[in-house]
Chain A
Amino acid sequence: MQLPILSLLILLPLAGVVVLIFMNREDDKRLKLFTLAVMVAEFLLSLPLWFRFDDANPGMQFVERYNWLPQYGISYFVGVDGFSILLVMLTTFLGPMAVLATWEDIKDRVKEFMICLLALSSGMIGVFVALDLFLFYVFWEVMLIPMYLLIGIWGNPARRVYAAIKFFLYTMFGSLLMLVAILVLYFYGGKVTGTYTFDLLKLYGLNIPFKMQFWMFLAFGLAFAIKVPMFPFHTWLPDAHTEAPTVGSVILAAVLLKMGTYGFLRFNMPLFPQAALYFVPLFSILAIIGIIYGALVSMVQKDLKRLVAFSSVSHLGFVMLGLFTYNVQGIQGGIIQMINHGLSTGALFFCVGCLYERRHTRMIADFGGIATVMPVFATIFMIVTLSSIGLPGLNGFIGEFLILLGTFKENKIYAALAGTGVIFAACYMLWMFQRAIFGEVDKEENRQLTDLSAREIAVFVPILLFIVWIGVYPNTFLNKTKATTEHFVALMEKAKATQVTSLSHVFKGEAQ
């Protein structure tokens, strides 16, 4: 019998939570070490997933299915395919680093913090592997709570409650519409086929009328667009990022945002293909606005974390643009860019965290000349910055290139507009880097800063390894997503045969 890896990945952190509850809250060190051990175990456990994953199989693998509430067609149904494997691996990979990064940062209520962290890991894995809509929704909502607590309790005292509530209500608002849409889908499926089920794979096959697809796409889409976040639903993000503790920002940027982009790929597009085709212009244009707008606003930020937060809006715009091309390059680029953003932006937040821990400020103007006092840090920060601005040879380039290549095939103007984001990215990142890292050490407080500790270097090295790996040999990762992407692109091609280009007759029909 095959080991139920996915379930173990979900359950292991929860088991860790149970153990943590009974541990002595005074012994911070042991609490941290234990959590670290759980995270490392989680990562090791996920390795067979990577190595035993069949690249050639476009469908679900490592599938587990148990009846949960059979009378309502609800089951515990999980699996991974090319769309989710990399995201699951990213989540488990970042786990140990997240714990290491909190070592000095979190001194207050360590026990609760570690519980939140583990609960979050479990929830994130759950979201990426759930194949039952009901199960998915449970994970999706459950995940909000630990994140809300991370920001609200361990955040920056001044505005953490505002940011946490904004985060919670905003995402909750989107989710509720999605819940309604899930129920509609459930009842519709039941009505048409006679069996009421939340099984995603079965629902894929439903031939939903366009009018219904239209609204359902928007209902799901809003929830995901908020999470991504797409312009103009992004304003919760800078607040949440700025107020969250370092590790909160890292997880938020690296994994949580990907739930939005993943949601489009897993739910919106295959469930409502006609609507997905219909909405290409709207979402592409919003994505492009996000790319340029995020970059421009990022350029004038004074706070490092806000700068990185707005750069996320820009980068995620690239991902969305890629997904909505419905061609292999665009989608593979979009997926790899999700991972790239996770690595680069995660690392950027770690970098900001390193500075914050030393100086207790995130204002660019408070730094300057850091390269002189922290040369190792400056080098690492530079590599991460270059990865973020898409320098060839590092990871970011692969994603941006494939996305723009795919976009260019579908619409040259979109590609030309989005491409300007590459120029702006160089502007805002290098300008920030110049002000914070280059120059003379002109502030007394900065003169005594210590360079990175071994622990901090240990956080960065694995990330840097993958930043280079993806840049130099991306096929390792592209191969995993290939079969599923090609299968999906073929489905979308088929859907194009019955594409709806004008709404007028669809909705006129309804009025009569």
Chain B
Amino acid sequence: MHFIPYVWLIPVFPLIGFVINGLLGKSLSKGKVGTIGTVAVGLSFALTVAVFLEYLRLPAAAKPVEVVVYNWLASGSFSVNVAFLVDPLSLVMLLVVSGVSTLIHLYSTGYMHDDPGFPRFFAYLNLFVCFMLILVGANNFLMMFVGWEGVGLCSYLLIGYWYEKKSASDAGKKAFVVNRVGDYGFLLGMFVIFWTFGTLNFREVFSLAAQYPVGSGIITAATLLLFVGATGKSAQIPLYTWLPDAMEGPTPVSALIHAATMVTAGVYMVARCSALYVLAPTSLAVVAVIGCATAIFAASMGTCQFDIKRILAYSTVSQLGYMFLACGVGAFVSGIFHLMTHAFFKALLFLGAGSISHALAGELDIRLMGNLRHKIPITYKTFLIATLAIAGIFPFAGFFSKDEILMYALINGNVWLWLTATVAACITAFYMFRAVYMVFFGESRVPHHVEHHIHESPPSMTIPLMALAFLSVVGGWINFPIIPGAQKFHDFLSPAIAPLGHEAHLAISAELGLMAFSMAVAAVGIYIAYKFYLVSPEIPGWLAEKFPVIYDVVYHKYYVDEIYDYLIVEPIKVGSTLLWTEVDDKVVDGTVNGSAGVVAWLSEHLRRLETGFVQNYAMAIVLGVTLVVGYLLG
């Protein structure tokens, strides 16, 4: 049985789920709706696995495979197919997306059980998976863009899922508009690519680009424009502001869309275009610097948040920064590796947060938690595993991927990138353990009326937690460093990634030294958190009082939202109002109505010419026409 030719069915299954739940969901029972939604995505996962296994068996000459479904859009020399590219990179992404999605769908059947919009939720979630699979499966830029904007739409719909809440619909709209700014860059990038290479097919573009010299202006322009798109979708400076607000959506949405899958689309896109980026050192430098800056900037904001989902949101922004840093220093495989491990442990953290708030009747403020580790043990253990993973502790998954990034930042990049990223890693360990200590240890600060309701979540929620915890432990082992032949992930992905002309390697001793150092850095972060939030909980308050300005600025997220409002949003609103009331009504329309007024005034005075004799009018018309015709012909 051949599965690869049916790769197009992978996004079709969730699409069918979307149609069924969207149209008929209201008349179906919740159990059926949940089953349809979950099975649809599960089928995608199963098919992806089948395709993956078949791909492994293909002879090297037959790889990669393109599966054309139909010609989508043709106009003149422009032609784009609906077609899929089956190669290591898309397979990794398809596996991660469909696998994590299946778990999160399962989790949602429990988490969203009492929500009246249950069918709508599953319809949106299925639609999201469909677009996400299109995004990562596409064989050309335009189809990728379809998925790209499509996931943006679903993100908008799901952030604003509780649309009665103004803050939710505000956040959805903000996400969409900010993403559109990025998409605008993506669109222009596609135009540059098409009019340079005459095609939007990935493989054709990349092979044509190989003839261009390193540093060519046109490729630099294209890659920078595409990266604008990535900063929007993957929440990087300067377009990251929508992601923390996106936490208004239900928690499974935050886990799936705003942690594990959609927000990584930018990283995937950059890795997919590695063949272009390696030709544009300027763009790579921009990617690395933006990624690194975002990593530390977002991490610093994570330290002062009290909403557990917002802590995780800033941490996502920060971790995405690491992935871009990896791409920027040419370590695309490491970027994708971290993307994958991050998908496991960050989805787990969010689902854990959901399980915590489920136990506490919806509470998200960590100041109102504490000492929960015995009451919700599964949630606690899995959450702790994920936290160890994100903090980069051996042998959890995050250790391997983050360590690779730090190493490449040093050897392909420079010491400043490495140092910044290392400090960010320390901060990450700090704020994540801050959350762990405040939620699971110390004194219980849970309000009394909630206290006796606390319960562990149902199996539909804990099973995904445990599955993801397993992956958060072992997920990194597929790319074990140092030991020869153990870098399976790297070996698998390499054919899909363009190498950076100069490959540097470290001596084993140096590599081991770096690992030990980054472990030590993480340990420092954990120790500070332990000291601040368990041993002497008065220190943070004392610090905040001692440095009120710094605390205030960080607590208010550097006032970036306010600055954007003041500099961009308000001027556009005020300007548009002026354009309407002053320019359109008074100037443009005023001229029109004014000229009518002039005519009226003239006619008052020219009335005498109105003799009432038709011949006179006819005469005037003939004269007029003759004059004009005469002038033009003469």
Chain B min CB distance to A292 (Å)? 10
Residue pair B180, A215 in contact (C-beta under 8 Å):
no
Q: Is B559 an interface position by the 8 A CB rule?
A: no
Residue pair A300, B573 in contact (C-beta under 8 Å):
yes
Q: Which of the residues A216, A296, A440, A473 comes within 8 Å of B576, measured between beta carbons?
A: A296
Q: Which of the residues B173, B180, B191, B592 comes within 8 Å of A408, measured between beta carbons?
A: B191
Contacts of A478 in B (CB 8 A): 73-75
Q: Is B204 an interface position by the 8 A CB rule?
A: no
Q: Is B544 an interface position by the 8 A CB rule?
A: no
Mask of A371-398 contacts with B, CB within 8 angstroms, 1/0: 1100000000000001000011100011
Residue pair B75, A393 in contact (C-beta under 8 Å):
no
Chain A min CB distance to B163 (Å)? 4
Q: With A and B bound together, what is the CA distance between A184 and B634 in angstroms?
A: 11
Q: With A and B bound together, what is the CA distance between A397 and B156 in angstroms?
A: 18
Residue pair A439, B163 in contact (C-beta under 8 Å):
yes
Q: Is B378 an interface position by the 8 A CB rule?
A: no
State which residues 346-369 of B face A: CB under 8 Å.
none
Q: Is A346 an interface position by the 8 A CB rule?
A: no
Nearest residue (CB) in B for A336 is: B75
State which residues 158-177 of B face A: CB under 8 Å.
160, 163-164, 166, 169-170, 173, 176-177
Residue pair A183, B629 in contact (C-beta under 8 Å):
yes
Nearest residue (CB) in A for B143 is: A392
Mask of B602-634 contacts with A, CB within 8 angstroms, 1/0: 000000000000000000000001001100110
Residue pair B628, A180 in contact (C-beta under 8 Å):
yes
Q: Which of the residues A392, A437, A482 comes within 8 Å of B145, measured between beta carbons?
A: A392
Residue pair B184, A423 in contact (C-beta under 8 Å):
yes
Residue pair B146, A416 in contact (C-beta under 8 Å):
no
Residue pair B181, A423 in contact (C-beta under 8 Å):
yes
State which residues 193-243 of B face A: CB under 8 Å.
194-195
Contacts of A415 in B (CB 8 A): 188, 191
Q: Is B564 an interface position by the 8 A CB rule?
A: no
Q: Is B584 an interface position by the 8 A CB rule?
A: yes
Contacts of A401 in B (CB 8 A): 73, 142, 187
Q: Is A126 an interface position by the 8 A CB rule?
A: no
Contacts of B74 in A (CB 8 A): 475, 478
Residue pair B76, A329 in contact (C-beta under 8 Å):
yes
Mask of B531-575 contacts with A, CB within 8 angstroms, 1/0: 000000000000000000000000000000000000000001101
Chain B min CB distance to A131 (Å)? 23
Residue pair A297, B584 in contact (C-beta under 8 Å):
yes
Residue pair A169, B150 in contact (C-beta under 8 Å):
no
Q: Which of the residues B166, B184, B572 comes within 8 Å of A296, measured between beta carbons?
A: B572
Nearest residue (CB) in A for B596 is: A169
Residue pair A405, B632 in contact (C-beta under 8 Å):
no
Q: With A and B bound together, what is the CA distance between A232 and B585 in angstroms?
A: 12
Q: Is A301 an interface position by the 8 A CB rule?
A: yes
Residue pair A402, B75 in contact (C-beta under 8 Å):
yes
Nearest residue (CB) in B for A482 is: B75
With A434-B169, A475-B71, A486-B76 known as contacts, the answer to whether A188 contacts B188 (CB < 8 A) is no
Residue pair B166, A439 in contact (C-beta under 8 Å):
yes
Q: Is B492 an interface position by the 8 A CB rule?
A: no
Residue pair A369, B76 in contact (C-beta under 8 Å):
no
Q: With A and B bound together, what is the CA distance between A245 and B169 in angstroms?
A: 31
Q: Is A249 an interface position by the 8 A CB rule?
A: no
Nearest residue (CB) in B for A425 is: B180
Nearest residue (CB) in B for A428 is: B576
Residue pair B173, A434 in contact (C-beta under 8 Å):
yes
Residue pair B160, A438 in contact (C-beta under 8 Å):
yes
Nearest residue (CB) in A for B628 is: A180
With A392-B145, A393-B146, A405-B191 known as contacts, the answer to whether A180 contacts B625 (CB < 8 A) is yes
Residue pair B150, A419 in contact (C-beta under 8 Å):
no
Q: With A and B bound together, what is the CA distance between A431 and B95 in angstroms?
A: 36
Chain A min CB distance to B631 (Å)? 9
Q: With A and B bound together, what is the CA distance between A229 and B467 in angstroms?
A: 60
Residue pair A293, B596 in contact (C-beta under 8 Å):
no
Q: Which of the residues A169, A297, A422 comes within 8 Å of B580, measured between beta carbons?
A: A297
Q: With A and B bound together, what is the CA distance between A434 and B75 in angstroms?
A: 36
Mask of A482-494 contacts with B, CB within 8 angstroms, 1/0: 1000100100000
Residue pair B164, A438 in contact (C-beta under 8 Å):
yes
Residue pair A215, B632 in contact (C-beta under 8 Å):
yes
Residue pair A438, B76 in contact (C-beta under 8 Å):
no
Residue pair A423, B180 in contact (C-beta under 8 Å):
yes
Interface of A, helix, strand, loop or mixed by DSSP: helix
Residue pair B188, A416 in contact (C-beta under 8 Å):
yes
Q: Is A426 an interface position by the 8 A CB rule?
A: yes
- Output the residue of B170, B191, B572, B596 with the most chain A CB within 10 A: B191
Chain B min CB distance to A196 (Å)? 13
Q: Is B588 an interface position by the 8 A CB rule?
A: yes
Chain B min CB distance to A183 (Å)? 6
Q: With A and B bound together, what is the CA distance between A215 and B576 in angstroms?
A: 35
With A327-B76, A404-B191 known as contacts, the answer to whether A440 contacts B164 (CB < 8 A) is yes
Q: With A and B bound together, what is the CA distance between A474 and B74 in angstroms?
A: 8
Q: Is B72 an interface position by the 8 A CB rule?
A: yes
Q: Is A41 an interface position by the 8 A CB rule?
A: no
Q: Which of the residues A183, A234, A482 comes within 8 Å of B625, measured between beta carbons?
A: A183
With A188-B633, A419-B187, A426-B180 known as contacts, the answer to whether A332 contacts B76 (CB < 8 A) is yes
Q: With A and B bound together, what is the CA distance between A333 and B74 in angstroms?
A: 11
Q: Is B53 an interface position by the 8 A CB rule?
A: no
With A392-B146, A408-B191 known as contacts, the answer to whether A300 contacts B633 (CB < 8 A) is no
Chain B min CB distance to A460 (Å)? 14
Chain A min CB distance to B117 (Å)? 10
Q: Is B149 an interface position by the 8 A CB rule?
A: yes
Chain B min CB distance to A374 (Å)? 13
Q: Is A187 an interface position by the 8 A CB rule?
A: yes
Contacts of B487 in A (CB 8 A): none
Q: Is A299 an interface position by the 8 A CB rule?
A: yes
Q: Which of the residues B149, B573, B577, B632 comes within 8 Å of A392, measured between beta carbons?
A: B149
Contacts of B173 in A (CB 8 A): 430-431, 434
Contacts of B72 in A (CB 8 A): 472-475
Contacts of A472 in B (CB 8 A): 72
Q: With A and B bound together, what is the CA distance between A472 and B584 in angstroms?
A: 38
Q: Is B517 an interface position by the 8 A CB rule?
A: no
Chain B min CB distance to A193 (Å)? 14
Q: Is A361 an interface position by the 8 A CB rule?
A: no
Q: With A and B bound together, what is the CA distance between A434 and B180 in angstroms?
A: 17
Q: Is B78 an interface position by the 8 A CB rule?
A: yes
Q: With A and B bound together, what is the CA distance between A235 and B184 in angstroms?
A: 29
Q: Is B153 an interface position by the 8 A CB rule?
A: yes
Q: Is A360 an interface position by the 8 A CB rule?
A: no
Q: Is A420 an interface position by the 8 A CB rule?
A: yes
Residue pair B184, A422 in contact (C-beta under 8 Å):
yes
Residue pair B163, A404 in contact (C-beta under 8 Å):
no
State which residues 232-267 of A face B: CB under 8 Å.
232, 234-236
State which residues 46-102 of B face A: CB under 8 Å.
70-78
- Output the residue of B70, B150, B163 with the most chain A CB within 10 A: B163
Q: Which of the residues A180, A296, A409, A422 comes within 8 Å of B180, measured between beta carbons?
A: A422
Q: Is B451 an interface position by the 8 A CB rule?
A: no
Nearest residue (CB) in B for A423 is: B180
Q: Is B486 an interface position by the 8 A CB rule?
A: no
Give 25 pairs: A residue, B residue, CB < 8 Å, sorted on A: A180-B629, A184-B628, A188-B633, A212-B633, A215-B632, A236-B592, A293-B579, A297-B584, A301-B580, A327-B76, A328-B77, A332-B76, A372-B164, A391-B153, A401-B142, A402-B78, A408-B191, A408-B192, A419-B184, A427-B177, A438-B160, A438-B163, A439-B164, A475-B72, A486-B76
Given contacts A300-B579, A408-B192, 5 further A-B contacts (CB under 8 A): A169-B596, A299-B576, A391-B150, A391-B153, A415-B188
Which residues of A does B touch, CB under 8 Å? 166, 169-170, 180, 183-184, 187-188, 191, 212, 215-216, 231-232, 234-236, 293, 296-297, 299-301, 327-329, 332-333, 369, 371-372, 386, 391-393, 397-398, 401-402, 404-405, 408-409, 412, 415-416, 419-420, 422-423, 426-427, 430-431, 434, 437-440, 472-475, 478, 482, 486, 489
* Interface pairs A-B: 7 shortest CB-CB: A328-B76, A235-B589, A408-B191, A438-B163, A392-B146, A296-B576, A438-B169
